Amino acid sequence: MSFCELSGKTILVTGASSGIGKQTAIQISELGGRVIITGRNEKRLSNTFKELSGDNHIKVIADITNEDEIYNLVEEIPKIDGLVHCAGIVGPTPTKFIREENIEKLMRINFEVPVLLTGRVLLRKKLNDKSSIVFMSTIATRMPYFGGALYNSSKSAIESYSKTLALELVKKGIRSNCISPGLVNTPLIKKPLSEGQMELVDESLGRYIKKYPMGIGEPEDVANSIVFFLSDESRWVSGTNLLMGGVVQ
């Protein structure tokens, strides 16, 4: 058996149509796991599906910001051994420009969706004992950047949720951990939250990149840690938050 072997495990990955979620799904399949991938964009999700190794994987197109679509997704899937929450958005917004709609949009996908999906999976008894749940946070909760107040707040909230979840699930051997990467080379780092913010994205990106002495990460750097948390090699690890990016503070 190789290190981080995932054969016999079924793992649901959200945000699997792009970036870290896509790479994670590919690596899970390469390690022998069966993946259920979900995302909104049919074409991009199908591209991920084509890149998976092995058979029996499942693809579900869903906009999981809609609670009914979360419920349908959970009904559709078989029992799982792992859940990776990669769906998320970013959007630099200086504090004085934050409006209700910005809060609702960002908190919905970054905080409420992982909370609702996890709750539903537990309620419908779709998580096997000894499963592993992985949430995506960011190193920026400890290393803030200009315009990141909303994004960082959504991730701080999910870190706190993950820790409480770990406590609640410990008797079933179900583990919950967070990964907090620094800047990773994915389409996300180029996306503004609303029109006309590209200048702000470029400006804050330029400043932020300089903070990484080892350079910025690639999706596989993060996926390597996610598959560790999904595997039995990390069976004694729960309630933690792995900071990634080589930034020594």
**Residue of 6, 10, 11, 15 interacting with ligand NAP (CB under 6 A):** 15
Minimum gap (Å) between residue 61 Cβ and ligand NAP: 8
Beta bridge partners of 37: 13, 59
Nearest 5 degrees, angle CA 143-CA 144-CA 150? Answer: 140
When asked if residue 194 is in the footprint of ligand NAP (CB under 6 A), the reply is: no
Q: Cα–Cα distance between 246 and 104 in angstroms, integer?
A: 32
Point out which span in 11-19, 118-126, 165-173, 233-241 binds ligand NAP (CB under 6 A).
11-19
Minimum gap (Å) between residue 101 Cβ and ligand NAP: 15
When asked if residue 88 is in the footprint of ligand NAP (CB under 6 A), the reply is: yes
Minimum gap (Å) between residue 80 Cβ and ligand NAP: 17
Q: How many residues bind ligand NAP (CB under 6 A)?
A: 28
Strand 127-136 and strand 34-39: the pairing is unpaired
Q: Cα–Cα distance between 191 and 188 in angstroms, integer?
A: 5
When asked if residue 205 is in the footprint of ligand NAP (CB under 6 A), the reply is: no
Nearer to ligand NAP among residue 5 and residue 149 (C-beta): 149
Inter-residue contact 21 to 40 (CB < 8 Å): no
When asked if residue 87 is in the footprint of ligand NAP (CB under 6 A), the reply is: yes
Backbone angles phi, psi at 11, to 5 degrees: -130, 130
The amino acid present at 207, given as its one-letter code, is R
In the window 170-189, what residues touch ligand NAP (CB under 6 A)? 181, 183-184, 186-189
Can you say how many angstroms the Cα of residue 77 is from the centroid of all Cα atoms in its chain?
19
When asked if residue 105 is in the footprint of ligand NAP (CB under 6 A), the reply is: no
Q: What is the largest CA-CA distance in the chain?
A: 54
Residues that bind ligand NAP (CB under 6 A): 15, 17-21, 39-41, 44, 63-65, 86-90, 109, 136, 138, 181, 183-184, 186-189
